[in-house]
Amino acid sequence: MKSTTDLARPFVDAAKDVFNSFNIETRTGISVLIDKQAENVCDLSGIIGLSGDAVGAVVVSMEGEVAKLITQKALSKDDVSKEEIDDAIGEIVNMIAGNAKEGLEEYRIVISLPTMVGGKNHTISWRTDGNKIISISFRMEGGKTFYLLLALEASR
């Protein structure tokens, strides 16, 4: 059985690659544990559930303005609508999960469709053991930050 450590790394690598591919420079911060019940300080989260040999969820959380900025970069245009932002962030989290899945090739992992959640201080019900999840910050040029939240558990 793989440990959470082995499972987490491909997701962080995938996140870096995905943002790089959109020409978004990021600096990865120190990962920390946060309480499962903690309210999310960001107001937009893209969520993807994992099932199969590894269960849990991958979430990309950010402020609305950061989401807008990322979408602008990804779509290479300034004028972006709310739908476009949701689509772009959903697609990004989908790409992260998809790329990470390839990095874990001996694992049979099924990823769900991305779901977007909005609103200040929303909470997410994490379905893994333990009472903490991993949070990794990504700082963009200009100091804006978004977070990759991971709740992972090997089920075999």
Partner 1 sequence: MNKLGEAIGGAFNLIKNLIVDFFTSGTKENELDYNKRNKIIFINIAMFISIFVLVYFSVTRLAEKEYILSSFELAFVGLIIFFLWYLRKTRKTTVTSLVTVSALFALCVYLIYTGGSYNSGSYWIFAFPIIAITFLGARGGIIYGIIMLIIGATMMYTDLHLETANYYEYRTNVSIGVYLLIFLMAITYEVANNYSNKRLMAVKNEIQSILDNIQDGVFLMDRNYLIQSTSCSKSLFDILNKESFENYTFFDFLKDSNTLEKTCESVKAHLHEVFEGNIDEELLEDINPLSSIGIDMIKNEELIKRHLNFKFKKINKDGKPFLLVNVKDITKEVLLGEKLEKEIEEGDNQIKYINQIINTEIKLVKEFITESVIDLDDINTEFGNNSDDTTKVLQDLASMAFQKIHNIKGNAGILGFENIVNKLHNTEEIVKDLRKKDDIIAEDFLEITTEIQEIGIEINKIEEIIKKLESYKLDEEKASMNDPVILTITSCIDKLNDSRSMNVKLNIERFNIHLIKDVYRKLFKDSLIQLIRNSFAHGFEEKEERIAKGKNPDGCIEIISYVEDEKLFVIYKDDGKGLNINRIKAKAKTLEEYKGVDLENMSKKEAVKLIFAPGFSTTEDVDKTSGRGMGMNIIHDYVVKKNKGKINIQSEDGVNLAFKIELPL
CB 153 within 8 A of CB 56: yes
Helix, strand, coil tally for the chain in percent (to 5):
35, 35, 35
- What is the token pair recorded at 7? 């499972």
Question: With respect to partner 1, which residue has the nearer C-beta, 27 or 77?
Answer: 27
Minimum CB distance to partner 1, residue 124 (Å) = 17
DSSP bridge partners of 115: 47
Q: How far is the CB of 127 from partner 1 (least distance, A)?
A: 15
Q: What are the residues binding partner 1 (CB under 8 A)?
A: 3-5, 8-9, 12, 27-33, 51-52, 105-106, 108, 110, 129-132, 134, 136, 156
Calpha distance 25→5 (Å, rounded): 25
Min dist CB 42 to partner 1, Å, is 15
Task: Identify which of residues 81 and 125 has a Cβ nearer to partner 1 in the complex.
Answer: 125
Where is 70: in which H helix or E strand?
Answer: helix 64-75
Shortest Cβ distance from residue 45 to partner 1 (Å)?
Answer: 19
Q: Is 91 exposed, middle or buried (0-12, 13-18, 19+ CB in 10 A)?
A: middle
